[in-house]
Structure 1
Amino acid sequence: MSNRFVVSLTCAKEDTDKATVAFVVANAALGSSQDTVVFLSTEAVRLAEKGYADDIAEEGFARLADLMSSFAEAGGEIYVCAPCMKKRGLDEAELVAGAKVVGGAKLVEFMAGGCPSVSY
């Protein structure tokens, strides 16, 4: 059985509930001893920008910026889709802790041996 887990996220401020829940699940997976990656694609790449998530706070949940920081501090990796980032003109030098700009091949490599995943 794989000890890897992927959370794929495609939204940011247009659906803050999904964005928040994605990082709640990612933290839970990491807390369950899963080597966990959050893959940000399309609009979700904006979450990787320093300061972008600071004002996102869904009722009943920790602030999204805090969830993201906790995830990175616990060893989780945030894969940021390189083409999606480029399309939006984002600066790699301005990413949050734990974020790494990658192509699709890096995600495929991580999941290749079999890996559960959820998408938001």
Structure 2
Amino acid sequence: MAEKFCVTITHCRTDGDKATLGFVVANAAQGSEKETMIFLSCDGVYCAVKGEAEKIDEGTPFAPLKELVTKFVNAGGKIWVCTPCLKKRGLTEDDLVEGATPAGGAALVEWLASGSPSVAY
């Protein structure tokens, strides 16, 4: 069984439900003692932009996105944010929440090449 897990999220402002569900699954993987990484691309980069996660609350039974992000980071989960996607939106590493790191496609490929399963939202 794989010891790593990857969740890719391409939505935040455009579909808070997909962003929320992605972080729910990532927290479940991290809680199952999988080394878990979230890769944010396209609109999904906003999940890691300061002040943006606070705007997403899909309601019961889900926790607000901000709580899910904080829980994931505090549990040791990794958040990688697509560098070109940040640049396209005029964002920099300084705009990101603590625990989020810019990363390119090569880093994602390397993670997946290790045998990590992946789901996408």
TM-score normalised over the length of structure 1: 0.96
How many pairs does the alignment contain? 120
Quote how far apart the aligned CAs of 1:91 are: 2.2
**For residues 95 and 10 of structure 2, what CA distance do their matches in structure 1 show?**
20
CA RMSD of the aligned region, Å?
0.8
CA deviations over 1:37-86 (Å, ceiling 9, x no partner): 00000111122111111121111111101100110010001110000100
**For residues 113 and 13 of structure 1, what CA distance do their matches in structure 2 show?**
31
Percent same amino acid among aligned pairs? 53
Aligned to 1:8: 8
CA deviations over 1:77-112 (Å, ceiling 9, x no partner): 111000010000012112112101001111111111
**For residues 40 and 114 of structure 2, what CA distance do their matches in structure 1 show?**
21
**For residues 97 and 63 of structure 2, what CA distance do their matches in structure 1 show?**
17
- SS of 2:53's equivalent? coil
**For residues 34 and 2 of structure 1, what CA distance do their matches in structure 2 show?**
8
**For residues 106 and 10 of structure 1, what CA distance do their matches in structure 2 show?**
17
Letter in 2 for 1:99: A
Unaligned runs of 5+ in 1: none
**For residues 102 and 47 of structure 1, what CA distance do their matches in structure 2 show?**
15
Aligned to 1:75: 76
Letter in 2 for 1:82: T
**For residues 44 and 93 of structure 1, what CA distance do their matches in structure 2 show?**
17
Structure 2 residue 113 is the aligned partner of structure 1 residue 112: yes
Quote how far apart the aligned CAs of 1:115 are: 1.1
- SS of 1:46's equivalent? helix
Aligned to 2:25: 25
Unaligned runs of 5+ in 2: none
